[in-house]
Chain A
Amino acid sequence: MTTKTSLLKVILLGDGGVGKSSIMNRYVTNKFDAHLFHTIGVEFLNKDLEVDGHQVTLQIWDTAGQERFRSLRTPFYRGSDCCLLTFSVDDNQSFLNLGNWKKEFIYYADVKEPEKFPFVILGNKLDVTERQVSIEEVQQWCQENGNYPYYETSAKDATNVAVAFEEAVRRVLAMDERTDHLIPTDTVKLHRKPRSAGTCCS
């Protein structure tokens, strides 16, 4: 199909210690380090992947969960294409804070249409035996907040991590499709997209 590579910025948000950095490292380098220090500020890694025939470069931004790092991380919310809200299934408080994280993101990322923005919910540390948060609770929360997809992951065991990121990419692409459809209705496109030109010719 198309060979156009787009850069998608996805951002991992959630309480400190829920495993955001581990999820990122697991996904990009397929490694797990139990002794990671707190993330300070933000970090990011790039990963090339193909989803549904689209070549994308995923730029995964990992953020510091601790409250004291707020001023360092918030400037980097802007420009995100997707937000992965992360909590730990063995920590109820981290689940309860999801709403705050969503609010913070929408505020600092300056999202135009918050109800349409693609969020993905991740419940990490599936490998831990003592769960505090039930699947039902989370699914209900997702339903109430905008029908977000929910994945239970384990960075340690590499469960569901890749799936979750691919879903995030799909959501973003779907958003793009929709806007692509919306735009031509009320505007005149001066620069035709190469993608559509390509499909015409082939």
Chain B
Amino acid sequence: MNAERDYQMIRKLERAHFFSTREQEMILKLYEEEREILTAKSNTTSASKLREEAWQRIADQINTVSDSGYKRTWQQVKIKHKNIVQTAKRRRVEVMRSQGGSATPSLHSAEEDVLLHKDNRLRVEVLAGGSCIDPLMGSDSSFISVSGHPMLLLPVTKTEPESLSGDETDMSDAHFEGDLNSSSFQEMSNSAAGGRGAETQTEDIRALYCCYLRKEMENRDQLMAYRALKMRKLEKEILILDKQLDCDSVMADIRRGCSYFFLYDGSKVKGEGDPTRDGICFFYPEETPVDKQELLCGQLAGVCRCVSELSSSPVRVLRLHRNKYAVRMKDDFLWALGCSVEVPTISVCELLDQLINLFCFYNGCVRQSYQLHSRETLAARWAQYLSYLQPGSSELHHVFSCLRTIDSTNVDPLLLLKAALILQGCQRCPLVLAGCILFRGRVVSTQMSPELTVKVMVHESETYTRRPSRPSSSTSSAAVGSTPVFLTASELHYLQSAPVNKDVRSHSTPQRDAHPGKTRLSRTLSEIASTESDSSDPGPSQSPDKVSLNLSRSESDNSANPLDPLPQSPEPSFSNGQHCPEAEEETFEESYYQSFHSSRDGDVQEHDEDNSLLSGGGEERRRGDAACGTEFDLRALESESCGDELLEGERGVGCGSAQGHAAEQRNPPPPEESPLIPMTLYLHRVKGLVLALLVDPHFLNDKASTEEVYHSSLASLNGLEAHLRSITPGAPCAPGPYIFAHFDCIQSTLTTNLSGRPGGAPEHPFVRATSLLHSHFCNTKTLQEAIIRSAGAAVYGTRSVAQETYFQQHGGSLRNSGIPNHQDSAFSLPSKARHRLLKHGVNLL
């Protein structure tokens, strides 16, 4: 009892004249409530009476809740309020003066914490809210944003610290001093309570406490102002997000793929007076006003030219504020494909490469095709290729730019085997290189590389949409077509290196040889072949067969040459076939050389004409002594070195032709380096089913071959078509408790349980996360596993050399604290993925 009373006495003594913090707060709060009365600009007695009453009310309320045990009069309260306000003002002035560089932000919210760690490289990325991924992806560093409430989630952009810096410094400064004061105050009060209780100390404490309170109140004011600002910012950002989402949903298909694409021919714009529009070969979207086209083309081309000359390496990617551009430069041509920054860079680059390769596949060399055809014709083709490569069905396909295959879970594997066997049957004709079978725009089986298959599919889809399905009774020729195509040497090499069983081609093999164990050619065969393969015994007739093969090839090259006046060297190994008679080889080389030379001269002259305004002639151009010639000089040098490489790389081709390549293709990206070889694409359509074969151009003239291929495959194609048509598109597997996407990098195929339609609400974050992870995987070769996560969802990604797998588990509350925690449910994703995906044939073990 005594002790308690003593304690109370001490308290009373020491707080005799103090208002407790709570009371002070009350004063302020109540003052705000009564503000209208108290601050009324009126000196009438009634007004002052009202004021008195108001103060009395405040005092009463304070007394009722007071924790200090003292009763205050309204006068005391009024004076106290005045003091508070005055000290607050004084204090603010002091703070303003003392404010310097020493202020260290000491914010403790998770957000700022993260901001401080911005530069650390983090493996696990935490995303704030599914829909907020965009802004994050825009920023350069892969830092993290964590926030407590998913709805209030702020995309942390780089501009934020600057825009708020004023508020933050003020606040943190005050906070800091406040902390200091309060701690020192507590120390003092402890010592005072310890019993010493000196008068001076009481005064000190009082002063300190006042100080503290003043700071505290300023702090609060500023906090409130800060919150108000923050709220406004939030509102605005929500508006922006809304806008973005709207754009996404409305223009998803257009915007996510490509916003701009153009081909610019620098050779058309050399002089000062040449308008930029002369150089624009194709611009997408085509309805863009010419002025804008010129602006964009001119600027980008200028920047690329400049940068590539400074760095003496071609520009690949340009990042602008909202768009990023994949850029390819070859000869005087410049391609640029612009996507929004959200699209992974790797996808943009792949898209552009695909587009250019596609054009070259169907039209041959770009320069040549622009000499042969009108701009309008080719513009239509660019538009067609572009529209084909644009993401149509699913955004996931766009992320990986993968092949569209038939749903193999739905199809009896025996049918895939059947398709593979049809292709192999066609290869029995030596003029057939490789082929693929497509059904309704999807791959059933292919012997070609994924890139090549995509190219072939473009033509197929075009003819498919143009021509309605025919009744099966209509016979032969109408269903068969062909088109000239151009292969790069590497593509051709790949096709030839495929282990086609020569015995099968010799037509003299025992029964089951149509079934060689070539796993690479057809993916379906590899599985089944092991179970039922009867090993084929090699026949003795190998070498004669090879001879005939080579003969026919070189012949066809000879015949093809006059058709192509421009330098398009066949792959040297063709003309060099060891089995070819010597004489024939020589004549071939010579004729080729001549045709090449004449065309090259023409080519050079043309260049000279183009440049006659700028520089005197070819020699001068090479020396590059004129100021305006420097640009050209660089390229000329480059082309020479390039030519040397080619010369080394290609055995047995005459020197002239190697230089020709250099002149033809100056600093191209790797895919175009090699010359293009004319080939023919043979198509046999049976309703929705298409057999597409890459054949030697000679094939079409060889009646025996065409008939053999046609008749040997017709029955099987009919049957396969009947089978595939009868397959009911299996009910799309009910949206399970998880989403996955499995990308086979080798075959470029995608397996997923995502429904095809774009922009499904729950799938959107998954696609975004997958796209982000994919681009990280592409950029960081050593990265193997990653979890990406928002407040509501987590996506796990893993990859090996051959595959990439992405997995998201639905439902179940994520125990997600923002801080790595072993109980975090995100960490169970890898094992869940392993187990769940087994039944989809995805092995992550």
Contacts and interface: CB of A to CB of B under 8 A. Distances in A.
Contacts of A28: 715
A7 interface: yes
Interface stretch (B327-335, B409-417, B558-566): B409-417
Contacts of A72: 412, 414-415, 723
A29 interface: yes
Given A7-B473, A31-B711, A37-B512, A44 B718 contact: yes
A43 B718 contact: yes
A70 to B, nearest CB: 11
Interface string B499-517: 0000000010111111100
A31 B711 CA distance: 9
B715 A45 contact: yes
B722 interface: yes
Nearest to A60: B715
Given A29-B711, A35-B511, A35-B514, A40 B473 contact: no
Interface in A12-59: 21, 24-25, 28-29, 31, 33-37, 39-46, 57
Nearest to B707: A29
B83 to A, nearest CB: 95
A41 B715 contact: no
A76 interface: yes
B418 interface: yes
B712 interface: yes
Contacts of A45: 714-715, 718
Instruction: Report the interface size class on chain A.
Output: 20 to 34
A62 interface: yes
Nearest to A61: B719
A46 B475 contact: yes
B472 interface: yes
Contacts of B457: none
B692 interface: no
Given A7-B473, A69-B414, A72-B414, A41 B711 contact: no
B726 interface: yes
Contact of A41 (B414, B510, B511, B514): B414
A109 to B, nearest CB: 15
A40 B412 CA distance: 11
Contacts of B715: 21, 24-25, 28, 43-45, 62
Contacts of B472: 46
A40 B712 contact: no
Contacts of B512: 37
A75 interface: yes
A72 B412 CA distance: 8
Contacts of B718: 43-45
A201 B509 CA distance: 60
B86 interface: no
Contacts of A44: 715, 718-719, 722
A44 B514 CA distance: 20
Given A34-B511, A35-B511, A72-B414, A42 B473 contact: no
B434 interface: no
A42 B719 contact: yes
A157 B202 CA distance: 126
B704 to A, nearest CB: 12
Contacts of A42: 719, 722-723
Contacts of A76: 722, 726
Interface string B396-428: 000000000000000010110110010001000
Nearest to B418: A40
B716 interface: yes
Interface in B707-731: 711-712, 714-716, 718-720, 722-723, 726
Residue among A41, A46, A71, A76 having the largest count of chain B Cβ atoms under 10 Å: A41
A37 B414 contact: no
A43 B716 contact: yes
A43 B719 contact: yes
A198 to B, nearest CB: 22
Interface string A72-94: 10011000000000000000000
Nearest to B717: A43
A33 B509 CA distance: 11
A44 B412 CA distance: 19
B154 to A, nearest CB: 58
Nearest to B711: A29
A57 B418 CA distance: 26
Residue among B425, B509, B723 having the largest count of chain A Cβ atoms under 10 Å: B723
Contacts of A31: 711
Contacts of B711: 25, 29, 31
Residue among A7, A31, A44 having the largest count of chain B Cβ atoms under 10 Å: A44
Contacts of B412: 41, 71-72
Interface in B420-458: 421, 425
A29 B710 CA distance: 11
Given A44-B715, A44-B722, A37 B421 contact: yes
Contacts of B473: 7, 46, 57
B716 to A, nearest CB: 5
Contacts of B421: 37, 40
B2 to A, nearest CB: 98
B529 to A, nearest CB: 12
Nearest to A21: B715
Nearest to A44: B718
Nearest to A43: B719
B415 A40 contact: yes
A92 to B, nearest CB: 21
B415 A41 contact: yes
A76 B724 CA distance: 12
Nearest to A63: B719
Contacts of A33: 712
Interface in B511-531: 511-515
Contact of A35 (B414, B509, B714, B726): B509
A17 to B, nearest CB: 9
A72 B722 CA distance: 11
B518 to A, nearest CB: 14
A41 B726 CA distance: 12
Interface in B749-779: none
Nearest to B718: A44
A38 to B, nearest CB: 9
Nearest to B425: A37
Given A25-B715, A46-B472, A40 B722 contact: no
Nearest to A34: B511
Interface string B693-715: 00000000000000000011011
Residue among B418, B715, B723 having the largest count of chain A Cβ atoms under 10 Å: B715
A41 B513 contact: no
B149 to A, nearest CB: 55
A41 B603 CA distance: 56
A112 to B, nearest CB: 22
Nearest to B415: A41
Nearest to B511: A35
Contacts of B418: 40-41
A41 B712 contact: no
B714 A40 contact: no
Contacts of A46: 472-473, 475
A37 B716 CA distance: 11
Interface string B468-512: 000011010000000000000000000000000000000101111
A61 to B, nearest CB: 8
Contact of B513 (A29, A35, A62): A35
Contacts of B415: 40-41, 72
9 contacts: A34-B511, A35-B511, A36-B511, A41-B414, A41-B719, A44-B718, A62-B719, A69-B414, A71-B412
Interface of B: 412, 414-415, 417-418, 421, 425, 472-473, 475, 507, 509-515, 711-712, 714-716, 718-720, 722-723, 726
Given A41-B415, A43-B718, A72-B723, 6 more contacts: A34-B511, A35-B511, A35-B513, A41-B418, A46-B473, A57-B473
7 nearest A-B pairs in the assembled complex, by CB-CB distance: A43-B719, A43-B715, A40-B418, A42-B719, A37-B514, A29-B711, A44-B718
